[in-house]
A and B are shown apart, each in its own frame.
Chain A
């Protein structure tokens, strides 16, 4: 997956902040549903399990970015972790992290519950198969001309004239061979472009304050957005967009 912006050593404030905010959301939710769990008579251990499952899923998705080494290569923009964020403590933890591991496995272990100052999740480079939303892409089977010829019992060449008796059989075999070209079967369906998994497609979920159009020029004012780009999450308080149709 190519990143047009390049690998910047300082995935800055915006990317790193997501971890803290997500953590806050998890804490919030868990705290608020505790009462419901108790009411339903469900053991608190289940609540803890929910939390850890949730956290490990997030880590597995690798959307939190990797630990970066500020002393490493700096991009020419010289991006720094903005201290204005809620995560100044995490920024210093980041600085302490020497290397990044590849697999998300150890990263999952890094999320202990009950520990506020968590080490930043090390997820390494965005793993190629990051998401479990199996999009089984159907590849159309490739017709085999020589194979068909071999399968056709008693017929050496499907296109040559065949004895009347074996004609039906040859027809069937011909159909098999040509099926993918002429007939429409399920393998020919184009993968529905709109139905790309929500996590593999770059998307932004948010609210609009205003959407304005003037001829072919669109302007939008957005707020409270979760932007998923190249497998990473960015949270935005406000955003403005301009596009040409």
Chain B
């Protein structure tokens, strides 16, 4: 389930933590928790699509690459990132960041879109 990608983000992990607490207390059932997580998957996808406008370009050294099940997994080194809040707002609004080591976990956008479409229809 590639739309589960964002579950390991901070917002996703926070949700999982919160749900676990409630589950341990017996306040919500596992089924309900699962339902919340699925809703989160859809919501984060929508948000990233519609509410976010920032773009970025980055360069670095590639140490490791993996591709399996439509998922690319890169490990980069000495990365420089340039982030700008919206398309074409460049110039002074740009933020430059650097990372010594960064991991990219990427799923195929076509697969995600297809899965999202299925969910919507089903």
> Looking at the complex, which one of B27, B39, B89 makes contact with A49 (CB distance below 8 Å)?
B27
Known contacts A42-B32, A50-B18, A226-B6: A235-B43 contact under CB 8 Å: no
Within 8 Å of chain A (Cβ to Cβ): is B49?
yes
Contact across chains for B39 and A199 when beta carbons are under 8 A apart: no
Q: Which residues of the partner chain A approach B28 to less than 8 Å between Cβ atoms?
A: 37, 40, 42, 46, 50
Task: Count residues of A near B (Cβ-Cβ below 8 Å).
Answer: 77
Contact across chains for A80 and B93 when beta carbons are under 8 A apart: yes
**How far does the alpha carbon of A233 sit from the alpha carbon of B9 in the complex, in Å?**
9
Binds B, one of A27-35, A164-172, A176-184: A27-35
Task: Count residues of B near A (Cβ-Cβ below 8 Å).
Answer: 72
Q: Which residues of the partner chain B approach A222 to less than 8 Å between Cβ atoms?
A: 104, 106
B35 to chain A: closest CB distance in Å?
Answer: 5
Known contacts A42-B32, A84-B86: A239-B55 contact under CB 8 Å: yes
Known contacts A13-B54, A46-B28, A229-B102: A243-B61 contact under CB 8 Å: yes
**How far does the alpha carbon of A245 sit from the alpha carbon of B93 in the complex, in Å?**
30
A199 to chain B: closest CB distance in Å?
Answer: 6
Q: Chain A: which residue is nearest B9 at the CB level?
A: A226
Contact across chains for B27 and A42 when beta carbons are under 8 A apart: yes
How would residues 32 to 58 of chain A score, 1 for a CB under 8 Å from any chain B CB and 0 otherwise? 110011001010001001100110011
Contact across chains for B43 and A201 when beta carbons are under 8 A apart: no
Contact across chains for A211 and B72 when beta carbons are under 8 A apart: yes
Within 8 Å of chain A (Cβ to Cβ): is B92?
yes
Contact across chains for B9 and A224 when beta carbons are under 8 A apart: no
Contacting A at CB under 8 A, from B89-105, are 89, 92-105
Main secondary structure of the interface of B (DSSP, over half): mixed
Q: Which residues of the partner chain B approach A163 to less than 8 Å between Cβ atoms?
A: none
Contact across chains for A238 and B95 when beta carbons are under 8 A apart: no
Within 8 Å of chain B (Cβ to Cβ): is A79?
yes
Binds B, one of A139-147, A150-158, A202-210: A202-210
> Looking at the complex, which one of B29, B40, B103 makes contact with A29 (CB distance below 8 Å)?
B40
**How far does the alpha carbon of A233 sit from the alpha carbon of B18 in the complex, in Å?**
19
Contacting B at CB under 8 A, from A1-34, are 3-5, 8, 11-15, 17, 20-22, 24-25, 28-29, 32-33
In the complex, besides A37-B28, A204-B104, A220-B72, 14 extra interface pairs with C-beta distance below 8 angstroms are: A4-B100, A20-B51, A29-B40, A37-B32, A50-B28, A79-B94, A84-B86, A85-B85, A202-B101, A207-B106, A208-B72, A226-B6, A226-B9, A241-B58
Chain A residues within 8 Å of B, Cβ to Cβ: 3-5, 8, 11-15, 17, 20-22, 24-25, 28-29, 32-33, 36-37, 40, 42, 46, 49-50, 53-54, 57-58, 61, 63, 77-80, 82, 84-86, 132, 198-199, 201-209, 211, 218, 220, 222-230, 233-245
